[in-house]
Amino acid sequence: MITVLVEDMVCQSCVNAVTKELMKINGVESVKANANTGQVTIETARRSKVDIAYVEDAIHRAGYTMVL
């Protein structure tokens, strides 16, 4: 499981955009994003290692910034 914060993700449309991009990453099984807190939790497949750089890139493609 990976948990990150996303800057300016404040509405359901934002959540949908971030979720859509993250689900494109190989090994990601589910994404739970909360517009109220900006928190995104990513569940990965068993034995799958998802590089945090891929996560940051997907969030950027959705138009947002991951807070480190």
pTM: 0.90
- Whole-number pLDDT of residue 58: 97
What the chain holds in terms of domains, given with CATH numbers, is 2-67 (3.30.70.100)
Tens-place pLDDT, residues 48-66: 889 999 999 999 999 999 9
List Cβ<8 Å contacts ≥24 apart for 28-37. 33/6, 33/9, 35/9, 35/10, 35/11, 37/5
Which has the higher per-residue pLDDT, 48 or 13?
Answer: 13
Tens-place pLDDT, residues 14-47: 999 999 999 999 999 999 999 999 999 999 988 8
